[in-house]
Structure formats: structure tokens, C-alpha cells
Amino acid sequence: MEPNLLPMMNLVSLLIPCLLISMVFVEIAVINVTAPAIGSSADPEPEKDKPDKPPLNLTVTITDKGYTLAGSGGVLPGVTPPAEGESAGPTIPLIDKKIACDKYVGTWAPPRSVNRSQPKCEEKAERNYRVYDIEKLQTMLVGIKESFPDKKKVIIAAEPDIEFEAITDVMDTTRDIKPEGEERRDLFPEVVLSPGLS
């Protein structure tokens, strides 16, 4: 007696479209960065056509106190000057801001080491946290770009316990800007990651 393969063929022909419909395509996002080089300077090729102008060497350092911006001329002064007898703080300190909790459900907004005393984020809620001032960082970067329009490189350094999302936020902010009603323009698209701070 010959086996009847028709039910098996029907089952396979039904399974194939079901599997194709239920298939999930994975999106992979890539951030182009340059890994830190051992034993070389941040700007290996000195500018030969402009010997009188020093290289910028713009560095954004992320700490749990805020952002520190520095260049070849030194560290940029803070937004608020330090009180008498106090050491200089970061260029852009943390600010108190109400944050939508969609991205941070079940945890705190970065820097988490500062916000652990606050309640954790819940879905569809807003909480007041001390967070990084991304808007002020972008404003200062636009001013630096206007002074150095030909520079494209920025070095990003972070303390070892800084969250990955805080680093990627700085990468996105330093790369470009799109003001309302205007075209997108580059700020510092060449990102170089520096080894962690000790």
C-alpha cells in the first residue's frame, strides 16, 4: 500500500506562510567611533597650512557631576562660577528636571548613582531627577563649532561607572544639530572614545 503524502504536503504548505508572517527582522544600529590608540596623540597629523592656530583637541568628559569640556587651551570654565574656597566643578553641572519614564522603566535616569535615593521610574509616569544638561551641551558645542568651523573631531571620555546610554546621548549630541525649520548640519561627526578615567 502506498503512503498518502497529501496531508503532509498540505501541512508544509500551510506552515511556510505562517513562519514567514511570524518572522521578526532584527534592526541593527551602528555608531561609528574610533577606538583609542595606544601611544599616539589625539590629532596625529598636525595642520601644516595653519601653523599659528593650535589644534582644538575638543574633549567632553562625562562624570556623575556633569560634563567637562576641554581643549588645547585648557578646561572651559563652568556655567556657574564656584563659590569662594570651593574647587571648580564641571563645565555643565547636572540639573533638576522632570523626566518622562518611558526609557527608564524599573530603574532611574542617568546618572543612576546620583538618583538612587529617588523612587524608580514607572510606566507612563514623570519623575524629577538630577540629569545631564544635554541642551546646554549642544548650545556650547554650536558656539565652539562657530569658532572652529573646520574641526570635525571630538574625544569623549567617561568615568568607569557612567552608563552606556549617557555616553551614546553625548555621541548623538556632538554629531549634528537640526534647528526647527532649518537643515541638519554637522557639529563634530568624528567621535573618538578615550580610555576610562581613573
What would the pLDDT profile of 98-133 be if each residue is shown by its tens digit?
988 888 888 888 888 888 888 888 888 888 899 999
pTM over 0.75: no
Q: Where are the domains of the chain?
A: 55-94+132-198, 95-130
How far from chain centre, in Å, is Cα 67? 12
Residue 61 has pLDDT above 70, yes or no: yes
Give dist(CA 41, CA 48) in Å, integer. Answer: 16
Residue 88 has pLDDT above 70, yes or no: no
The verdict on domain 55-94+132-198 having CATH code 3.30.420 is: yes
Q: How many residues does the chain have?
A: 198
Average pLDDT over residues 85-103: 81
Residue of higher predicted confidence among 88 and 39: 88
